Amino acid sequence: MSYTTRKRIAQLRETDPSDELIEIFAWVRTKRDSKNVCFFELNDGSSLKGLQAIIDKAPNESGTPDLQDEIDRMQTGCSIRVAGRLVESPGKGQSVELACTDLEIIGEAPADEYPLQKKRHSFEFLREIAHLRGRTNTFGAVMRVRNELSYAVHRFFQDRGFLYIQTPIITASDAEGAGALFQVTTMDLDGLARSGGPVDYQHDFFGKPAFLTVSGQLNAEAYATALERVYTFGPTFRAEHSNTTRHLAEFWMIEPEMAFCDLECNVELAADFVRALLSAVLERSPEDMRFFDERIEKGIFADLERVATSTFEHMTYTDAISALETAPRSFDYPVSWGIDLQTEHEKYLTDEYIKGPVVVTDYPKEIKAFYMKQNPDGKTVRAMDVLVPRLGEIIGGSQREEDHDALVTRIEEMGLPREAYSWYLDLRRFGTVPHSGFGLGFERLVRYVTGMQNIRDVIPFPRAVGSAEF
């Protein structure tokens, strides 16, 4: 069973008919058995469409052995080894099929127990069997597109000289006050509760409170100010109680960080990045993307194609507020200078006002993190959000404050513990440089690209409030 010589279905579907005897290992999706012939559909996960196989039961000169016992045991979901020859297919939608001459059942899937019998199951039902849902068309396609996107992320940065660095998952500081943190402890909580005693973190593993990271950015900055351009692509955690279709408790984030890079450079990088990701998936996963277009979100293929070739318009937050204030429609959340833009506002700007992707920059400092570089106006910071049609924000980033004293002032104004940031301030004490970066939530991207409605359906095993099965 060498994996190197084994042919996969995606490859075989593109192969011309021939007399060569080939062997396939796969799972059975459907079977139609009749007196003279048995048709069955094989899928090995290599592509959306499987391969049709036929067993000709009529006695013939090829001397096909009697496979009726195997055919009877072959049910939807079982794993098999088949051998045969590729022949021209008379059927629609495929150029070849397998004329099967040997069939071995590897693992049965009893029809009265295997849950994936119907052609279509609801996503809610499939979430309950996340360990099996990868065997459906939709989840196979989602995971292939997810894989293609993650490969494209690495390719994009590697092609441009960015170093992939791994930032810590356990951290002792709430980096940005970005959200609710998961605490990490080895303390005996039950024992503490019983004794009623005070919590002494000196006895905890790290000698102080520790948490799961919400972002790798601050650590990435340390390496960007050494290696000039780096990126992280790792898990992040937020104890979000919001039970939405956009939030997970555990998600993956991509965070490039670049030295000698101002906000304009950051905008350029972000737009190039989004375009490259979309182009890559359209080019490399056309079959899966057509499936999403047909079954999940009509028109998504052309929509993404348009964004992939768009120039990204640029507007300041202040201009965005003016556009919203004079919009020929009302919003649930009232608009005035100083508000954080809500999804409805972002969608208006990108879907209706600009009618394409747009980068909004220079937000009020009050609604942004302490590390963003302040503008001379004293009111705004060099922040940027990239908004795309249908979704709203896909990327958030900024030029970072590289001036030591300005950063200290901001930390103190915001009442953050200065000592915890002393290492971060060192980056401004020694060889400081203008630098910028951004964050893109990977599952938000996969959801945008596939058109799937719920973020829990674009990650293999979702973790969200009240749910950590499998």
For the CB of residue 440, give the shortest distance to ligand ATP in the complex, in Å: 6
Our CB check for ligand ATP shows the closer of 134 and 396 to be 396
The answer to whether the CB of 342 falls within 8 A of the CB of 387 is: no
For the CB of residue 310, give the shortest distance to ligand ATP in the complex, in Å: 20
Length of the chain: 470
The CA distance from 465 to 262, in Å, is 38
Cα 130 to chain centroid, rounded: 17
Our CB check for ligand ATP shows the closer of 174 and 303 to be 174
* Burial degree of 265 (CB within 10 A; 0-12, 13-18, 19+): middle
For the CB of residue 253, give the shortest distance to ligand ATP in the complex, in Å: 5
Q: Is 339 in the site for ligand ATP (CB under 6 A)?
A: no
Cα angle 264, 267, 268; round to 5: 90
Instruction: Restricting to residues 252-271, name those near ligand ATP by CB under 6 A.
Output: 253
Q: How many residues bind ligand ATP (CB under 6 A)?
A: 16
Q: Are strands 229-237 and 250-259 parallel, antiparallel or unpaired?
A: antiparallel
Q: Residue 220: what are its φ and ψ, rounded to 5°?
A: -65, -35
The answer to whether the CB of 104 falls within 8 A of the CB of 1 is: no
Our CB check for ligand ATP shows the closer of 261 and 440 to be 440
For 322, residues 6+ apart whose C-beta sits below 8 A from its C-beta are none
Our CB check for ligand ATP shows the closer of 17 and 179 to be 179
Q: Which 3 state secondary structure label does DSSP give 233? A: strand
* Choice from 56, 396, 404, 426 touching ligand ATP (CB under 6 A): 396
* Choice from 257, 393, 402, 457 touching ligand ATP (CB under 6 A): 393
Q: Residue 170: what are its φ and ψ, rounded to 5°?
A: -100, 135
The answer to whether the CB of 113 falls within 8 A of the CB of 20 is: no
Our CB check for ligand ATP shows the closer of 186 and 343 to be 343
For the CB of residue 444, give the shortest distance to ligand ATP in the complex, in Å: 4
- Which helix (H) or strand (E) segment is 301 a member of? helix 300-308
For the CB of residue 252, give the shortest distance to ligand ATP in the complex, in Å: 8
x/- track of binding to ligand ATP for residues 426-445 (CB under 6 A): -------------x-x-xx-
Q: Which 3 state secondary structure label does DSSP give 382? A: strand
Our CB check for ligand ATP shows the closer of 54 and 142 to be 142
x/- track of binding to ligand ATP for residues 170-189 (CB under 6 A): --------xx----------
Instruction: Restricting to residues 194-233, name those near ligand ATP by CB under 6 A.
Output: none
DSSP category for residue 114: -
Our CB check for ligand ATP shows the closer of 10 and 239 to be 239
For the CB of residue 3, give the shortest distance to ligand ATP in the complex, in Å: 34
The CA distance from 317 to 337, in Å, is 9
* Burial degree of 217 (CB within 10 A; 0-12, 13-18, 19+): buried
For residue 69, give Cα distances in angstroms to 2, 64, 65: 28, 14, 11
The identity of residue 371, as a single letter, is Y
The CA distance from 265 to 178, in Å, is 24
For the CB of residue 402, give the shortest distance to ligand ATP in the complex, in Å: 21
Our CB check for ligand ATP shows the closer of 29 and 368 to be 368
Instruction: Restricting to residues 235-254, name those near ligand ATP by CB under 6 A.
Output: 238, 240, 246-248, 251, 253
x/- track of binding to ligand ATP for residues 18-57 (CB under 6 A): ----------------------------------------
For the CB of residue 178, give the shortest distance to ligand ATP in the complex, in Å: 5
DSSP category for residue 296: I
Within 23-136, where are the H helices?
68-73, 123-128
Cα angle 36, 40, 42; round to 5: 155
Our CB check for ligand ATP shows the closer of 52 and 219 to be 219
For the CB of residue 455, give the shortest distance to ligand ATP in the complex, in Å: 6
User: Nearest-CB residue to ligand ATP?
Assistant: 441
Our CB check for ligand ATP shows the closer of 157 and 251 to be 251
Our CB check for ligand ATP shows the closer of 99 and 178 to be 178
Which positions lie near ligand ATP, rule CB under 6 A? 178-179, 238, 240, 246-248, 251, 253, 393, 396, 439, 441, 443-444, 455
